[in-house]
Structures are given as structure tokens and as C-alpha cells.
Amino acid sequence: MKYRVLQSEQVWGGFLKLHRYRLQHECFAGGWCPELVRERVEGNHAVSVLLYDPVQDAVVLIEQFRIGALGHQEPPWLLETVGGYVEKGEALEAVAIRETREETGCDVSRLELVGTFFTTPGWCCGERITLYCGLVDSRGAEGVHGLAHEGEDIRVVVMPAGEALGELFRKANSTSIVVGLQWLALNRERLRAEWS
């Protein structure tokens, strides 16, 4: 299948970059579909880490205010996995280690790749996330972290893995944590055997 971009222009350049595209693509039935106009938030590549302590059978999560939840969930603070954007030339694993330290104060001793996925491509967002599961010692993980110059106010939450799974689609309802916790449910016993 082919597509062609007829025009692309940036229509907003704040924290998020919004581009408007005029494009066409081939139709499944043959020929070319009519021209479309679509806006897309130009997403960066992000890394996210579900922090797991197999000895304690606990996860280290973060909680923070999210503008996307405002007006849709009260209160708009979500449980999430650690995460951050990849800077040019930066290795994905280095981002995982850096963001874990910045947002939780924990040190990752091992990483396992879960996968890479789009957050919401149908909503016209180009952001991709590479998700890892990271081995940590959850004992002593606590406090408020984040970078003040980025406006971060991040609270560390340590909870038993089973309790975290019970928060799926409640307080744990953003893409990375949903994928991460479901992956953990499938791989928890293996990780406890291999990482303990």
C-alpha cells in the first residue's frame, strides 16, 4: 500500500508540536482514496519502565497530575510507570536508567524489553513508547521526586504486585502502565524465578 503527503505545515509549536497534513493513500478496494486533512501531534520517542522487585513481589510506581485526565477522572492524578523522552543520540536503556533515578531515586540493576508501541495513533498522535521492565530493590523507595525545572512533582508509590494489578483501568489507566501490568501478570512467576 502506498500513500503520498501533499502538504505538511506546523500549525502550533508550544510544548507539543502540531502539524497539519494533506494526504492521500491507496484504498483496500483499489485506486486512491479521497484527499484527507489530518492534524497530528508530532510525538517523540519515549521510554517507560515498569519497576519490579521480585523478592518483595512489589512494583514501584509513580503518581502525578496529568492534564489529559483533567475533566475525565477525579482526581486527575494517575498511577504510572516511570518515563521520559529520548534525546537525540541517547540509547533507550540509558533513558530508562536516567528516568528511573530522576523520578523514583531507585537504581535499575537489570532491564528486560517488553516492546515498542504507539500511544494513540488513531487520535493523530505520533508518539511511540519503548517499554521495559526494570529490576529494582523496592525497600526504601519513597518520597517526592522529579525535576523542578520541568515542573515535575512525582510521588513514589510502592505496592504489592497483586494490588497493582487490581488498579488496572482504575487509577492505573494510561497506556504504558496498562501494557506493563498486563505483561507483568503474564511474566511475574518467570521473573520471580529468574531475578530473585
Q: 186 and 100 in one domain?
A: yes
The predicted structure's pLDDT at residue 67: 82
Compute the distance between CA of residue 34 and CA of residue 141 in angstroms, rounded to an integer: 54
The answer to pTM > 0.85 is yes
Q: 167 and 121 in one domain?
A: yes
Neighbouring-strand partners of residue 48: 83, 131
Q: CATH number of the domain that 132 lies in?
A: 3.90.79.10
Please list, residue by residue across 23-46, b when 16 or more beta carbons sit within 10 angstroms of its beta carbon and e when fewer do.
eeeeeeeeeeeeeeeeebbebebb
pLDDT digits (tens, 9 = 90+) for 2-46: 999 999 999 999 888 899 999 999 999 999 999 999 998 887 899
Compute the distance between CA of residue 121 and CA of residue 155 in angstroms, rounded to an integer: 29
Active site residues: 150
pLDDT digits (tens, 9 = 90+) for 83-103: 999 999 999 999 999 999 999
For residue 90, the enclosing domain spans 45-195
Look-up of cell digits 512525582: 154
Q: 27 and 49 in one domain?
A: no
Q: 122 and 28 in one domain?
A: no
Instruction: Tell me if residue 160 falls in helix, strand or coil.
Output: strand
C-alpha grid cell, residue 129: 513508547
SS3 string, 57-120, reads CEEEEEEEECHHHCCCCCCCEEEECEEEECCCCCCHHHHHHHHHHHHHCCCCCEEEEEEEEECC
Q: 89 and 23 in one domain?
A: no
Q: How many independent structural domains does the chain possess?
A: 2
Q: 54 and 21 in one domain?
A: no
